[in-house]
Structure formats: C-alpha cells, structure tokens
Amino acid sequence: MFNAYSIEEVVSKLPLEANSISNYGDTLLIGSKQGHLICCSQTFSSGHNIPSYDYQVCRSFERRQIINLYVIESLDKIICLTDTHLSIHEAFAPYRLISSITKYKQILCFAHLIQQNILYILISIKNRLIIFQHLEEKLEEIGSINFDDSALRILWCQSNSLFISTKLEHYFAKLTIIQTNGKEAFNQISISEFPRLLLSIPSRSSDLSLPISACLLFDKQIVALNKDEKSLEFFDLEGGGQTKLIGNEENCCQFTEGIVDFVYDSPYILAILCTNCIEIRLITPSVFIQKINLNKVFMLNVGRRGSIYAANDTQAWKLNTQNKLRDNLKFLNSNGHHEIALQIANVYSDVVDEKEIVNLKKSIAAKSFSERKFSKCFDIHAELKTDLLFIINLFPKFLPEKYSCSTEKFINEIKLYGISNEENSLDEEEINKKAVDALIKFISMKRQEHSKPINLHFLDYKEERKENILSTNSLKRHEVALELIDTVLLKAYLMINPKLIGPLLRLKNCCCIISETEKDLKKAGLFEELLILYERKKMFRKYLEYFQREVKKPEAATHAHGIEKIATFLMKLKSEQLSLILEFSPIVLAEDIELGVKIFTGIDSSVDAKNFDRDSVLQFLKRQFPAAVIPYLEHIIYEWEDKRPKFHEELVLQYITRIKSLLSQFVKLPVNNQFMRSLSSNDENIDNNELVILRRKLRAFLETDKYYTVKDTLKLIEKDEVLADEQAILYGRLGQHKEALSIYTNKLVDFAAAERHCLIYYNENDLNNSQKNGEKQIVTVEYSPQKRPNITEALKLLRRHANKINIVKAFALIPSETPLSRIDIALKAVFETLCTRLTMVNLLMALTQIAINRTEINFKLLKQQRININESVVCFMCKKRIMESAFVRHRFDSISHFFCHRQNIERIQKKINAFNEHS
C-alpha cells in the first residue's frame, strides 16, 4: 500500500557470526556465536542528518555461544542467555558481569518482570519453571513450578499473566507474587498462588520446520500467536480466551507466506517470512502495508518507537518509520485511508498536530455516515464532543423550527456527509431506521450528560449545599441543550417507535419545545401523548378543553371516557387552580353527582382537596348543584373533622330542607300513624328510601354533634308536627326532658322511644337527675292520652329500671285502688334492687375499713423509720444533692427532689395523653 519503513544499513559485514540482537537506546547490541558482544553506535556527520554506525567488539563479554540478549534500559542491565548459563551484565562498556545462574544447565528460555524496581527472572529448564529475584547484585531463587513439558517460550507481563509455549501446547497462566518486608529478610518474595491453566491450545505438528512464536501487543494487552503457518491469532492476557479485535472481522492477521518470527511496532506487525523477506501489516483492519526484501534475515528486534532492527548472521539493518511519517499521512489522507492514517497519528500524537488528528476523525465520521455506518459515525462525534446542532442538521426533518437558522453555520461540513442540495434536506429513504436508531443512542447519551448536572444542582440547592451548584449561565446552557435533545428525541420516536414518546414526556426534567411538540403530536394523531404533554407542562386548560370536546361527541364510550378523564384530572389539581376546577366541574356534576363531589373531596384523603376554600366550594354547589351539598358537607364534617359551626348548621339546614321537600309528597297523616312512623324508622335494613335514610342521618347528627346551635335548629322545625322525633331530640339536648317525653308519649305514643330517651340522659352519679329521670318514666303513664292510666306499662318500667328510680315517689304515683297482685312482680324487683344496693354498700364499707387499717399500719411503720440526709445523698433523677430541699423517698430507698418527682409525673402524664389522642 505504501512504504511505512525506510531501510538504513547498520553493518554491511560483521566480523563475527551473529546469533541474537537487542538494543540499548540507539545502540544495536549483537550477540555472536563466539560469545562476543558487538556494539553498533549511531553517529551523525557534521552538517548531515543521515546517520552512520561504528561498531566495537567486546571479546570478554561471554565465553559461550550467546543464544538470547535482552536489555532493560530502566535498570541499565543486559540479560544474556548462553548455551550453559544465564548472566546479567551492565548495559554500558565495559559490560561488567553482575551475577549469573550457573546452577542450572541447558536453560531453554527466560522471561523477566520488574515490580517496584526489583527484577524477577523466570527461567525454563526441563519440566520446570524457576523464579529468581535480583537484589544487591545477586540472583536469589525464590520458588519453582513443576510443569508437564519443557517451556520453549515465555512471556511475563506486568499483570502477572504468563504465556507459556511448549512443543505441543500453549498455556495462559496466572502467577501472583507478594512482596514482604521483614527485618531479617528484606524484600523476600513468596508465591501466593501457583499458576493455574487457563487455556490450552493444540499446537502445530512437531514435524514442521517453522518455530513457535508469540508476541505481546503491549498497548492492547493481548498476545499474538502464530497458531498456524500463515496467520496470527489474538488472545486476552487476563482471561486467556480468544479475543475479538475491533475492525478485524476475521479476528486474525493473515500473511502471504509461512511466519518464521514476528514483532509488534504499533500499529504494525512485522513478520519474517520463510521466503527471507519482511512483510508489514496492520492488525485492525488486517491490511497489507509493505514488503521488504533483506538477505537471509532471521532476527528482528523492536527498538525505540518506530525503529526495528533486523539482522542475519553477517549483516544488520534498521527499519525506520518516523522519517516517512509526514509523507505517509499525507498519502493516506489524500487516498481516503483515513482510519489507517488515524491509527498512525494516534501512535505519534506527540509529533502530529492535534488539529490534524481531529480532522482525520471528522473525515472518518463523514465517510462512515456516507457508508451508512451511523453508530461508528456518532461514536466519533461523541469522542470529539461535536456541537449537537451539527449532528441534528444531518437529519433536517428532526431540526426544530427554532434552530433552523443554524443550518447556514454548518453548510460546508454537511456537504461532506452527502447532503449537498441547497435546501439541506435528506430524502425520506435515507432517514432509515438504522440511522435514526444510531441518532437516538447518541442524543440519549448526550441527554444524560446534560441532565445529571441539572439534577445534582437542584438536589444541592434543595439541601442547601454548594458542591454541585451551577452558575446561571451553565444552568441555562444545560437547559437549552436538553430542550433541543428532547424535541429531537420526540421527533425520532415519532418516526420509529411512538410508544416511547409517553415515557419521554413523563420524565421529570423533560424540556421539549412545547409548541413544536404539540404540533407534531396533533399531526400524528397521538392524543394520549398530547394529554401527557399538557399534564406534565401544567397546561391544564388545554387538557380539559380537549376532553370537553370529547364529551360533546355523540358516541357513548367517548362521552363516558371524557367525563371520567376530566374528573380524574380535576382531582389532581391543587388549590391554586380552584377557579379552573369550578369552571370545568359542572361537566362531571351534571352527569354523576357522586363522582363530581369527589373532585372537591379528593381520593384517599387528598391533601390538595383539603386545602380548597370550602366556603367557595359550598357556595358554588349551593348555587349550581344543590344535590351535591349534603355529600360534600358530610365529607368535610365526618372525614376531615371540620369543627366550624357554620358548616354543621348548614348540614342540618340541608337535611331539614330536603326532608321537608320529600315529606310534602305524602298525604298529611297523624304523626303516630303506622306509615308515618315507618318513615322515621331506625332500622338500617330499610335503606332504599331516601327519606328514611335522611331522617336517620339527621337524628344521628342531632344526637351526637356538638357544633351546631340547638335553639336555632329547634326554631326551624318547631312548628312541623311531622318532625316530632327530631323535636324531641332537640328538647333533650336543651335539657327540657318533660317536653321531650310529652312528645314521645302524647304525640307519637312511642313508649319505647321515651324509655330510650330516659336511658340516654340518665346519670347514676347525679342523684337529683336520677330521681327526675325516674319520675319522667312514670310520667309517660300519667300523661298518657288514654282515659285510664296505663298501669301495666308503668309496672314494666318499674321492674326494668328499679335501680334507677326513686321507689317511694314511683309507688306514690300508682293509683291506690290497684290490686297488690298486679304490683307483686314490681315489688320483688324493687326489693331485689334494694338488697343488692345494701350488699354493695356493706361490701364497700368493709373494703374501705380494711384499706384504712392497712394505711394506719403502714403509717406507723413509716413513722418508725429514720431517713438520714447528708451531703452524700443525691437525687437519683438530676444527680444533685438533696441538702435542705423537699424530697420524696421511692421504693428501694431511692430519693429524689420533690420538684424532680413532680416534673417526672407531669411528663409521664403528657405521654399518656398524647398516646390516647393518637390511638
């Protein structure tokens, strides 16, 4: 594709046969089969930028064949593996030997790890892995691991992951080490967990001549492995599983010939092929870049960034990419290979201008959009934090009218995306589902970026904190962005999934443009979502007017639905919208009084309904819907416990007015007529008659309510003979029991009612009142309208209530000519009552005497006791000294101030009272 690397000759003819290479900075180190080290240093002639190399030979480096060299620049050390031992040298002349491992012969390979500036070396011998640490210029063995086969290649990474390659298998394993600091042994390392097999990959046949190679892709934390002759596969270093590289569909890197060895120089992989050439490819995507022919090359080493050293047994070269970097980027950009150019630019971001990288990303985004790779396009724009308005302008049909003027600002950039017509609009076919889906994901992510600061701002504002408080300009900026995002989201949902519009509108911080949203929803016929908009944006009148129109439609289902929706919505409104409620509630009240009343009473003790101006509501109902007044007053009195007399008196008035209206429908009959008595029945089973129910409610209210004016109420019904029961109740509330009993016995001829009246007002603790009640029960007989006194009824009363009546006065009222046999049963009841009363009095006197005696004994005992109060005696409540203060001695001889004791009693009593009120 292009020449990524230029070739510089380092050494044209080596004095010794090379066997391994490494580098120390810009110095190439070559290990020979004779054990000598050849150092090739880079120099520049004066006035020239072309480098030249001079080499020196260190013949005292090793005495055996050098198999492998590795330079650790951070520690200035060289690790050298020969055919008999492993040694560590200084990385500068004269390359002094620091330490070596001679205990183990035939070391197959090694790997190293630097942790907290301590060097650890892992060597492989037959069926074993041995770990050393290098401290104070000594290599100390700290552990070993038995293995089933001999490891031929080891990679040890900073994450403590191991890659182990044997003759037939490859292993990924974990080796965890813990560094300990002790007084006797400083920086000792213990193996906390031996390697466990993560993945085993069947190797190639052993008869193949090509060796097994592996390489760490350090910037991706993966391992590349030549699993077969021509291809590399990639495995995750953490999990050990095969990994999928983004942009590489085949998940492998395919070369043209068999691979001998390979190295990684981001973003390229360079492989020596069996045809003695170097092939250079990209990984993502797997693209051929360059092929370099070098004579019998078999060694590669990664130098500094952009530099690769290659060698055979007599020659060495340097492959350099940085001197061609600018030309290559220009070539790739002009030929449309923006992604490859971006990979290279990212690696050399310190050299390449940041603006150039941004332009490359924009070009990739435009190309991706044209190729319908919308997700990729928007991912790039998310990374670049592109102006949201520019993204929306790519979809002109989604651009709100408010922002239509922004198109001119981006007209030139938009043309790169294939939108070139003057009107700046896309065809309907181009705005397909895939594009809109990608747009929705992008702006949804942007929505989170803007909504989160707003939510935190108002949360901290509410809790009076300053941590996340935004400035006025910042808050406005986020809100404007949300307005655009929500409006575009709604338009996008309209196109591909209208069901998502409702949840969007219900969001607490939904900021869509109301006029635009309303127009779009009406055009699409999404009236349910339109109502959600009205409700969330508190456009109450528009919401109600919509259902008002629905109610007027002739369809029965639509009519009922509209009534219910209006009622439900009105119930949600607060007291500030009472005028609106009064305006639209007649629609509901005209159809359903019960449902209409719920508008003003709420559901489940609604707090908002409780805060309505009850006077205004009452006057409104009285004026337009009188039938709703009684249910409303009953609710505010019984449910809300409103104690204001005006509402109680109004309820009484409404009861009486309605009852009189209903009674006027009947023929006028005597009040003691059986039919008329049935209309005042207390039998709860008779509940299908409105008049009966209302009279029952009225009597219960008159008997129990404390907040209406009894005298004023009596004046309302005093002349209505039909309401004699209610008159009797009111006389009783006024204490005029004689008048009440007269009504029961003379007008209504209802002795049972008279008896109930006496029982209600009887007070056994009030002797005078008790006598009066007894007399009044007998008066029911005396004032009976019959010609003769009703002796039988009087005796029944005497027998049932002997304990509540003054016996002497009661018998005095009985006519003298009454035979004794008729009063026999009554006399027995009287005598039994007197005996019971006498027994109770005697028992009470005996118990009282016992209590007195016990108290006197306790008092004598207490007088004999001595209480010593000195400076050491303290109040057990306040912990202060008693001294000369009044005190109380409690059980178990504890002492407190009298004042503290009294305070404690009052506090306990308050708690009891509060508990009783609550329960």
Q: How many angstroms separate the CA atoms of 424 and 414, rounded?
A: 8
Q: How many angstroms separate the CA atoms of 751 and 127, rounded?
A: 116
Q: Is the pLDDT of residue 491 over 80?
A: yes
How far lies 359's CA from each of 137, 355, 390, 754, in Å? 52, 6, 15, 103
Joined tokens for residue 626: 């009188």
Residues 6+ apart with CB under 8 A from 542: 534
- Residue written as token pair 């305006």: 583
| Upper half-sphere CA count for residue 456 (Cβ side, 13 Å) | 14
Joined tokens for residue 427: 């065809």
pTM > 0.85: yes or no: no
Cβ-in-10-Å burial (0-12, 13-18, 19+) of 64 comes to: middle
For residue range 726-756, list pLDDT tens digits in order: 999 999 999 898 898 888 888 888 888 888 8
**Element spanning 88, H or E:** strand 86-90
The ranges assigned to domains in the chain are 16-107, 109-203, 209-319, 321-371, 387-536, 556-631, 866-918
pLDDT band at 189 (very low <50, low <70, confident <90, very high): very low
pLDDT band at 66 (very low <50, low <70, confident <90, very high): very high
CATH superfamily, region 209-319: YVTN repeat-like/Quinoprotein amine dehydrogenase (2.130.10.10)
> Which residue, among 763, 823, 768, has the nearest Cα to 799 in the 3D structure?
823
Q: How many angstroms separate the CA atoms of 158 and 155, rounded?
A: 10
* Residues 407, 417 contacting (CB under 8 angstroms): no
pLDDT band at 317 (very low <50, low <70, confident <90, very high): very high
| Upper half-sphere CA count for residue 916 (Cβ side, 13 Å) | 6
> Which residue, among 725, 732, 729, 727, has the nearest Cα to 748 in the 3D structure?
725
**Peptide bond preceding 195 in cis form (omega within 30 of 0):** no
**Element spanning 156, H or E:** strand 153-156
For residue range 589-645, list pLDDT tens digits in order: 998 999 999 999 987 656 678 889 999 999 999 999 999 999 999 999 999 999 999
Give 519-561 as a DSSP string.
Answer: HHHHHHT-HHHHHHHHHHTT-HHHHHHHHHHHHTSS-HHHHHH
* Residues 585, 596 contacting (CB under 8 angstroms): yes
Q: Supply φ then ψ for residue 587, to 5 degrees.
A: -60, -40
Single-letter code of the amino acid located at 77? K
For residue range 525-557, list pLDDT tens digits in order: 888 888 888 888 888 888 888 888 878 777 756
How far lies 34's CA from each of 65, 232, 297, 875, in Å? 5, 34, 20, 102
Bridge partners of 242, per DSSP, are 235
Mean pLDDT for the stretch of residues 165-186: 64
pLDDT of 818: 75
* Residues 744, 753 contacting (CB under 8 angstroms): yes
pLDDT of 833: 81
Q: How many angstroms separate the CA atoms of 481 and 574, rounded?
A: 31
pLDDT of 780: 45
| Upper half-sphere CA count for residue 293 (Cβ side, 13 Å) | 1
pLDDT of 397: 86
> Which residue, among 47, 56, 16, 10, has the nearest Cα to 32 in the 3D structure?
16
The residue count of the chain comes to 919
Single-letter code of the amino acid located at 622? K
Task: Look at 342-356, 511-525, 594-608 and tell me which has the smallest mean pLDDT.
Answer: 594-608
pLDDT of 797: 74
* Residues 774, 800 contacting (CB under 8 angstroms): no
Mean pLDDT for the stretch of residues 59-83: 93
pLDDT of 770: 46
Residues 6+ apart with CB under 8 A from 47: none
Task: Look at 21-35, 232-246, 471-485 and tell me which has the smallest mean pLDDT.
Answer: 232-246
> Which residue, among 838, 768, 775, has the nearest Cα to 808 in the 3D structure?
775
* Residues 390, 403 contacting (CB under 8 angstroms): no
Residue 643 sits at the vertex; the CA angle it makes with 640 and 644, to the nearest 5 degrees, is 120
- Residue written as token pair 């990212």: 346
The residue ranking higher by pLDDT, 788 or 809, is 809
pLDDT of 225: 83
> Which residue, among 384, 349, 389, has the nearest Cα to 363 in the 3D structure?
384
pLDDT of 184: 36
> Which residue, among 133, 109, 129, 137, has the nearest Cα to 121 in the 3D structure?
133
Q: Is the pLDDT of residue 504 over 60?
A: yes
From the CA atom positions of the chain, what is the Rg in Å?
52
Q: Is the pLDDT of residue 428 over 80?
A: no
Residue 294 sits at the vertex; the CA angle it makes with 290 and 296, to the nearest 5 degrees, is 135
> Which residue, among 447, 431, 442, 446, has the nearest Cα to 495 in the 3D structure?
431
- Residue written as token pair 């790039």: 380
Residues 6+ apart with CB under 8 A from 421: none
Task: Look at 74-88, 372-386, 666-680, 876-890 and tell me which has the smallest mean pLDDT.
Answer: 666-680
Helices 751-761 and 724-734: angle between axes, nearest 10 degrees:
20
pLDDT of 183: 36
